[in-house]
C-alpha cells in the first residue's frame, strides 16, 4: 500500500480525500498546516499539498520538504495564475492540480508521479559528458561544472528521455505520455514550464540553450 500525505486546511476536503483515496489503495495521512506537514512527512511518501495554509505558505513548505525527501509533491490549490504554478514548480513541486478537481485526475497524477519516482534504471551505461554537463543515467545524477544538480522526479523523467534519444527529435506527445501519462498529451504548457526549469539549472545561457533544443511545433532534442 502506497503511503500518502495530504495537507490542506479544509477539514471536510481532508476527510473526503482520506475516504476516497483509502478506498483506492492509499495509506492516507493528513495535516492541516505547514508545520504539521513537515512533522508527518516521510522520506518516501508522496505529498498532496495546498498552498493556502494557515501558518506557512505552501510554496514555502515545498523547499523544506525537499531538504529530506525526493518523494513526489503534487500541489492541489485554488490558485490558478500561471505565476503561482511556475513558482511552486520552481521550488520543487512535481505537478500542479487546480481546484475544483476530479478525483480520477488527481489519482492519475499520483500514479504517474509515483511511477516516475520509483523508476529504477537497470541499464548500466557510461555517463554522458557534454561540455561541463555530466548525466549519469545509471546513477540518476546530474553534475554541472563539477557540482551536483538537484532535479525533481518530473525534471529527471524529461531529461532522461531526451538523453536516451540524444541527437534525435522527441515529440511533445511522447514526452507528455512518458512523463504524465496518456491523458496529458495535449498539455504542452507543462513541457514549456519544465524545459525552462531544466535550462535554468543546466544551461549557462538559458535563453540560448546549447543542449536542450526546441524544435518549433514538433518537440525537443538533447544535443551533445
State the number of CA atoms in the 13 A half-sphere of 182 facing the CB: 0
Whole-number pLDDT of residue 172 = 85
pLDDT at 143 over 60: yes
Could you tell me the residue ranges of all domains in the chain?
Answer: 2-118, 128-222
Whole-number pLDDT of residue 123 = 43
pTM greater than the 0.75 cutoff: no
Query: Across residues 116-132, what is the average pLDDT?
Result: 68
pLDDT at 183 over 70: no
Fold of 2-118: Rossmann fold (3.40.50)
Whole-number pLDDT of residue 44 = 67
Whole-number pLDDT of residue 140 = 85
pLDDT at 184 over 80: no
Whole-number pLDDT of residue 118 = 64
Which CATH number does the domain 128-222 belong to among 2.70.160.11, 3.40.718.10, 2.40.30.10, 1.10.10.10? 1.10.10.10
Closest CA to 178 of 165, 47, 167: 165
Query: What separation in angstroms does the CA of 164 have from each of 79, 137, 170, 223?
Result: 35, 8, 10, 11
Whole-number pLDDT of residue 182 = 57
Amino acid at each position: 500500500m502506497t503511503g500518502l500525505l495530504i495537507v490542506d486546511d479544509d477539514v471536510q476536503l481532508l476527510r473526503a480525500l482520506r475516504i476516497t483515496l483509502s478506498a483506492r489503495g492509499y495509506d492516507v495521512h493528513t495535516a492541516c498546516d505547514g508545520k504539521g506537514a513537515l512533522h508527518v512527512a516521510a522520506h518516501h511518501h508522496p505529498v498532496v499539498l495546498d498552498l493556502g495554509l494557515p501558518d506557512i505558505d505552501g510554496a514555502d513548505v515545498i523547499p523544506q520538504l525537499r531538504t529530506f525527501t525526493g518523494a513526489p509533491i503534487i500541489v492541489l490549490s485554488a490558485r490558478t495564475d500561471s505565476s503561482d504554478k511556475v513558482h511552486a514548480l520552481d521550488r520543487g513541486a512535481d505537478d500542479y492540480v487546480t481546484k475544483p478537481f476530479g478525483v480520477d485526475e488527481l489519482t492519475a497524477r499520483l500514479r504517474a508521479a509515483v511511477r516516475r519516482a520509483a523508476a529504477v534504471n537497470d541499464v548500466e551505461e557510461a555517463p554522458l559528458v557534454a561540455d561541463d554537463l555530466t548525466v549519469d543515467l545509471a546513477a540518476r545524477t546530474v553534475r554541472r561544472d563539477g557540482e551536483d544538480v538537484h532535479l525533481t522526479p518530473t525534471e529527471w523523467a524529461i531529461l532522461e528521455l531526451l538523453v536516451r534519444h540524444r541527437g534525435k527529435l522527441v515529440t511533445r506527445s511522447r514526452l507528455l505520455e512518458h512523463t504524465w501519462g496518456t491523458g496529458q498529451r495535449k498539455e504542452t504548457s507543462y513541457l514549456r514550464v519544465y524545459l525552462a526549469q531544466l535550462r535554468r539549472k543546466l544551461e549557462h545561457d538559458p535563453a540560448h540553450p546549447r543542449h536542450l533544443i526546441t524544435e518549433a511545433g514538433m518537440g525537443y532534442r538533447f544535443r551533445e
